[in-house]
Each structure stands twice: as C-alpha cells, then as structure tokens.
Amino acid sequence: MVRPPVADIGRAIRLALKEDLPHGDVTTAALFPSPTPAFARIVAQQSLVVAGLAAAVQTFRTLDPSLVLSPHCQDGDRAQDGDCLLAIEGDGRSILTAERVALNFLQHLSGIATLTRRFCDEVRGYPVTILDTRKTIPGLRALQKWAVLLGGGSNHRQSLSDGMLIKDNRLALLNRSTTPVKTACRKAKTNRLHDMNVIVEVESLAEVRQALAGQADIILLDNMNPATVRQAVRLIKGQALVEVSGGITLKNVRAMAKAGPDRISIGALTHSAPAATLSLVLEPLRGQAPFVVAERGQVPRETRRRGPDPWRRANGA
C-alpha cells in the first residue's frame, strides 16, 4: 500500500478551504439557515484508478468532524463507471460546502493515477520504469507524485535538493567549453554531495559520447526517436543507466520501451493528465432522525457528535 503524504494533504486542504471560503458559503447560508440532514455518494463516471480519496475524506472531516464518512474503496484501487467511492451522511450544508474542494482533489489526482496506469500498461513486458518529473503544480507536488505511485509509476526527483540533473540551460552556462556535457559531468562528480547520481540530458549521439567520457551515472536522451534511442543504448553498453524523455505519448511509449532504455520520464503525467469524471449525488433525509446513518450497504450506523454547529463554525458564523 502506498502511504498518503498526510502532512502535505492537510496543508493543501487548509489552503483550499481558506481559498474557497474567504467569507463563508453564502449560497448555502441563504438557503439553509439550520442543519439539514442529507446523504451523498461520490460516484465514478468512468473507469479509473482511485487517487485522492484520503484527501477527499479529510476535506469533509476538516470542515465538519461530525459527518459520517464511509469509503467504499481505497486509494490505488480500480473503479468502474457507476461505482460508489465514498458515502457521506450528516448536515447537508457541510456536504455542499466541502463538495467542490473534495472533488477537485479526487478528480485531479485520480486523473494522474489513471493516466500513469495507462502508460504502465502500454510498456508491460519490457524492463522499463515509468517516471514522473518536477513539472507539477506548485504546492501540490507531493500529492501529484503520490498519485503517480498509485498508478504504478515511480518518482523522479522530489526537488532540486535530492538529485543532480544537468539540463540544457545549465549546459548553456558552460558554453566556453567545447565539450560542455563532459565538463559538466566531471564538475558535478567532483562537487556532488553524498555520492548522488549525476544525470545529464543529451540531444545527440555526440553528446552521449561526451556523457560517457564524463562518467555520467544516468544519461537522459531528450526528444530522440526510437531508432536513435536504440543506437544510443548500443553505444552506452551498460556504462550508465539510460533514460528517455521528451515527446512521450501513449502512441509511442511502447516503441520507446522496445528501444531498450531503463527509464522513461513523462512530464504529462502531472501537467496534462485529464481530470477523472466523478460526481457527488446528494439526497435529503426526510422523516428520519437527523444524522443517524441508515443501513446503506457498507455505511456504518453512527450518530452525530453533540456540540456547536460545525458548519456555522467553519463558515465563521
């Protein structure tokens, strides 16, 4: 089981709720002045890999701890069109107020996990790892990279602090050198901390030779076609790990994997994954004791905690 980044989820939720409720939920406040019992389900409207359910649950719980929350699956599970992912019962005002933030997390992260799974399925049978990149939404990197893991991929660097990757603009600053790739690799090897791997991005077979002369640990082949990747792999002959990146799509990823690299890194996993299609379906609970959970499949029977109105507190009322 892939553990969720709990602290990062908490920070993201607090920021999202603050962003969405600067002065409370004015529509819900106008329509429902008092607690209104309701039952809701979050339902998948496509096949997907679930990611962000922990964030959705925590969003509802943060806004109103009295809500009764019943997950019908776990992060990392596959869900089909029509499957219920989460059941919620309690004050309908709280459900409505938290709905968009909870769905935003769940749809975005499930989209990433689902796309990652599709890439992993495409390269099945080849000994290659699908990696993400640092092309993430500021503030959401830990959550997005968690979603990649849930989809079956692996994480590249978490930050600039935990890996050395020499790309084109850093090489441009070494333009006084006639062999910038070789020079950069040797300088990085000399000055690196904790024996970190030195990864260098190359754009031609000539630069591959420079990377080998500089003793790079990982050679990143940027925007090469499968035929050129195959040539580069033969040239490297196991002297370094081979990573492929740039222009990777679901249509060409299998051909890239067949060319023989060890790793394929894909920025689109986090910057271009389409949001998963989900909906929250809500119904009022009429003629029932408020906040008592009825027997609904896996939904447990539980009663609301007594005390101050959680919705009014969350809305600053």
The one-letter amino acid code at 4 reads: P
Marked catalytic residue, from 11, 61, 100, 186: 100
Instruction: Clarify whether 222 is annotated catalytic.
Output: yes
For residue 216, CA distances in Å to 52, 125, 239 come to 37, 28, 9
Using CA atoms, how far apart are residues 62 and 184, in angstroms rounded to an integer?
48
| Tokens encoding 246 | 């740039």
Instruction: Clarify whether 309 is annotated catalytic.
Output: no
Instruction: Clarify whether 75 is annotated catalytic.
Output: no
Using CA atoms, how far apart are residues 82 and 41, in angstroms rounded to an integer?
11
Using CA atoms, how far apart are residues 105 and 10, in angstroms rounded to an integer?
12
Whether the Cβ atoms of residue 63 and residue 105 lie closer than 8 Å to each other: no
For residue 267, which phi and psi values (nearest 5 degrees)?
-65, -30
Marked catalytic residue, from 121, 222, 302, 309: 222
Instruction: Clarify whether 124 is annotated catalytic.
Output: no
Marked catalytic residue, from 135, 170, 186, 312: 135
| Tokens encoding 311 | 């919705």
Residue with structure tokens 């649950």? Answer: 57
Marked catalytic residue, from 99, 132, 201, 243: 201
Marked catalytic residue, from 11, 61, 134, 167: 167
Taking alpha carbons only, the member of 259, 236, 265 closest to residue 127 is 259
The one-letter amino acid code at 290 reads: P
Instruction: Clarify whether 145 is annotated catalytic.
Output: no
Q: So which residues are the catalytic ones?
A: 100, 135, 167, 201, 222
